[in-house]
Structure 1
Amino acid sequence: MIALTIAGSDSGGGAGIQADIKTFQEHGVFGTSALTALTAQNTCGVHDVMAVTAQFLGNQLRAVLEDFSVKAIKTGMLVNAALMKEVAHHVQTLQVPLVVDPVMIAKGGEHLMEDEAVETLRNVMLPLATVCTPNIPEAERLTGKKITSYADMKRAAHQLLSLGVQCVVMKGGHLHEKAATDYVFMQSGEVFALETPRIDTKQTHGTGCTFSAAVTAQLAKGKTVRQAIIEAKKYIHLAIAYPLHIGHGYGPTNHFAYRQQLGQCEVHYREY
């Protein structure tokens, strides 16, 4: 199976294209890529960003899609509106799942998306998405609403679903709760939660990229959206639970842990 990631490069290797390709590999999926930006980055922060042109991004996408039978696609760092429109032009006619990870802010706080591009993300990219995976700050920026509770998450998710997204995974890592709980809202009205123990650690660089890449890899293998999200939750929990302790800042997650632990971890599932 083949998956495609459309995202920025992380020179530190913990997030972006690098995290996506590693995650695809660990799930037994061949990874292809189209770069949207280069970053000078490590675990301590993003020091510089250089976006590619929309034309060059389009050339990459044509090269991949003309030659490979891509079964699922994910987007990560899309710096500006021009890049988003280019991606939409190429993926809107494809009959494959699209996972949109609305990357906006790096772990260290640096902005990775131009302010004026947020509206384009809402109006151009989200209507095409099979799954959208915002964390709390990203969901707040997408909806313009403060989120401090499950009720807030539900309202925000329904606002995003109204744009045409088929499934919204509201990641609860930024909420101050005992467990790390993600809430999944489907266009069908189905709602369920996935809960794992919260781990007190700074080894969380690239968690969003890694989780969305795991969802993408599972969809490329033919899993249902529900199955893909549950397996991705296991993958990211293990990646955080068995840290590598690399770097002097927010260290990367352990992309090997899922394979080393045979994918075994407890995820509490409940329906609403």
Structure 2
Amino acid sequence: MLAAIQFPGLQPEIFSITVFGTELALRWYALAYICGIALGWWLVARMMKRPALWRGGAPMAPKKAEDLLTWMVLGVILGGRLGYVLFYQWDYYRENLGEIAAVWQGGMSFHGGFLGVVLGVVGFSLANKAPMLKVGDAVATVAPIGIFFGRLANFVNAELWGRPTTLPWGVIFPGPAAQDCAAEFGALCARHPSQLYEAGLEGLLLGAVLFWGVWRRGWLRTPGKAIGVFLLGYGLSRVIVEGFRQADAQFITPDNPWGHVWRLGQDAEAFGLTMGQVLSLPMVALGVLVLLLVRRRA
């Protein structure tokens, strides 16, 4: 008997209703986005009401948090979708360009969403003549909230599962994960619940560090510090968890070590790097660079 945890009977849809012949559904993934964005907006507005947290005052009026929210939503959705298309599935979408906009079919990339948010911060700051580093610090502080809810939704959807394991907390995932086990081992297998590992590291732990630093240590008084900590913390967390997560089907090979980022070879384990690690290591380096620059300016 396999000593593991059976995946709970969770469905991607919370509920669905039919209106005039059209089925409308609320999915856990959508709820995760809603909760993450709503809580992030609320906390950013609260930070703007605390000028003492900042050197020289808050970067914008509290009511401007609503405008920032719009930029962030667009950045997450557009960047996340385009990142998934370019980084992970370009071979498919270049032959099916009409499906790129079909976000309801699934397929979002954190790193693409991250780049979208960066552009959103830049665009908002320029449009509102707000100090860019301060705005970025506010966004970085609340970002782990959305990451936490998003990873929980990944678990509920039984997607982005981990590698096979014999550990007692391994989970027997249904659907494609079970099919992969059957194809490789001829039977069911348990997998690391890597989605929960990511929720804990990238969401809870990183969020706790940032909140402690902002509210207890005055990090917002040093522009760029929260950004640096987020970049370093997320990058390291993702590199670690990728060791337990089933590798994505994009990779590096000796024949193509520096190829296009959306198609990096033929082996998921080439050089011991997964696509997630390839995309996260620059975040680690950038986080260290930002913190060094901030320290020199302090």
TM value normalised by structure 2: 0.25
Higher strand proportion (structure 1 or 2): 1
Larger Cα-atom Rg: 2
Structure with the higher helix share, 1 or 2: 2
Q: TM-score, normalised by structure 1?
A: 0.27
